[in-house]
Amino acid sequence: MKIMEKIKAKARASVKRIVLPEGDEARTVKAAEIIASEGVAEPILLTPDFIAAAENKARLETYAADLYELRKAKGLSEEAAAKLAADPMYYGMMMVKEGDADGLVSGAVHSTGDMLRPALQIIRTAPGMKLVSSAFLLESPRTEFGEDGLLVLADCVVNPCPDAEELAGIAVATAETARTLCGFEEPRVAMLSFSSKGSAEHPLVEKVRKAAETARAIAPDLILDGELQLDAALIPEVAAIKAKGSPVAGRANVLIFPDLQSGNIGYKIAERMGGASGFAVLQGLAGPCNDLSRGCSVDDIVNTVAATAVQAGNRRRRD
């Protein structure tokens, strides 16, 4: 992906410590070597043996005690907290939480849910953010779309059924990711639907319209419009017919899907049938954590670590 050169250059400019909880997995070990040799980040490979080593005992005890404090109101016992803290995924999350690592990348072995749940429970949302969501960086061979073929899509990974307010939050967060991670000078956000500017009436369309209004109220300077169909969002000729005068239609570079089913299906159609490629990052967490696909390559891990390191540089800390 062309965007990766820019992201890696940004990551090299300020080297961050990225923890890899799947530290005995072959692709992860290989990726860590490349990450270190290219200077993209300082990788920390976690293994159960590393965590249990005598010289790390004090840190494990601290993490167990802090994890218990964090989750006791949710019913976590001291014994269960001690057991969880020794699990590399939870240990890695505690490292990010406590500032002993700047970010985390996992998912070569664990499922999305197994990685997301501890991130949501331990790292939690960044100040001012109500929701964690994802942004998918999709690079198309069709350079007339987005920014030289690059589009940012959301939410394709996390929130199954966002309501209008949550959808507005996802739109604003994704525009911010497009700016800070992808270097878009002018994010132009299309709130997608099966209707363009009133061409259909349905409660699902109304949700998208309401989300667009809410997003404009939260971020009045953001260039955002909806509801728009995908063709009206991307193709100038269609925009001229379906959404005349829209500041976004025909030139959108950020696409917001109405729910997870459409978002997840949408990016997979672009990849499998349209020859596009890409990967997702999480947004809205107080410390950057990112998920891999279990079918990921060594390069995918290197790229996700680089993106996580850049997100760490833009991190909004929770006091």
Which residues here bind ligand ACO, judged by CB under 6 A? 74, 112-113, 116-117, 120-121, 125, 131-132, 157-160, 264, 280, 293
Distance in angstroms (rounded) separating the CA atoms of residues 66 and 72: 10
Distances (CA, A) of 234 to 42, 116, 156, 183: 39, 31, 18, 20
Least Å from the CB of residue 134 to ligand ACO: 8
Q: Which is nearer to ligand ACO, 38 or 78 (CB)?
A: 78
Beta bridge partners of 17: 42
Q: Which is nearer to ligand ACO, 12 or 315 (CB)?
A: 315
Asked whether 133 and 116 are in contact (CB, 8 A), the reply is no
Least Å from the CB of residue 93 to ligand ACO: 12
CB-based closest residue to ligand ACO: 120
3 state DSSP class of 178 = helix
Tokens of 170: 């996802």
Q: Backbone phi, then psi, for 179, in 5-degree steps?
A: -75, -50
Angle (CA) 110 111 113, round 5°: 120
Tokens of 131: 């929701």
Q: Which is nearer to ligand ACO, 99 or 160 (CB)?
A: 160
Least Å from the CB of residue 255 to ligand ACO: 16
Q: Which is nearer to ligand ACO, 47 or 121 (CB)?
A: 121
Strand positions, DSSP E, 235-276:
254-256
Q: Which is nearer to ligand ACO, 124 or 179 (CB)?
A: 124
Least Å from the CB of residue 135 to ligand ACO: 12
Q: Which is nearer to ligand ACO, 2 or 294 (CB)?
A: 294
Least Å from the CB of residue 121 to ligand ACO: 5
Q: Which is nearer to ligand ACO, 14 or 261 (CB)?
A: 261
Neighbours of 114 (CB within 10 A): 13
Least Å from the CB of residue 200 to ligand ACO: 27
Dihedral sign for Cα 25, 97, 18, 117, please: positive
Distance in angstroms (rounded) separating the CA atoms of residues 142 and 84: 46
Least Å from the CB of residue 161 to ligand ACO: 9
Asked whether 166 and 172 are in contact (CB, 8 A), the reply is no
Least Å from the CB of residue 106 to ligand ACO: 13
Least Å from the CB of residue 137 to ligand ACO: 12
Q: Please give the distance of CA 35 from its chain centroid, rounded to a whole number.
A: 20
Q: Which is nearer to ligand ACO, 74 or 272 (CB)?
A: 74
- Residues whose CB is less than 8 angstroms from the CB of residue 241 and which lie 6 or more positions away in sequence, other chains included: none
- Name the nearest CA neighbour of 18 among 315, 288, 314, 317: 288
Q: Which is nearer to ligand ACO, 28 or 133 (CB)?
A: 133
In single-letter form, the type of residue at position 58 comes to A
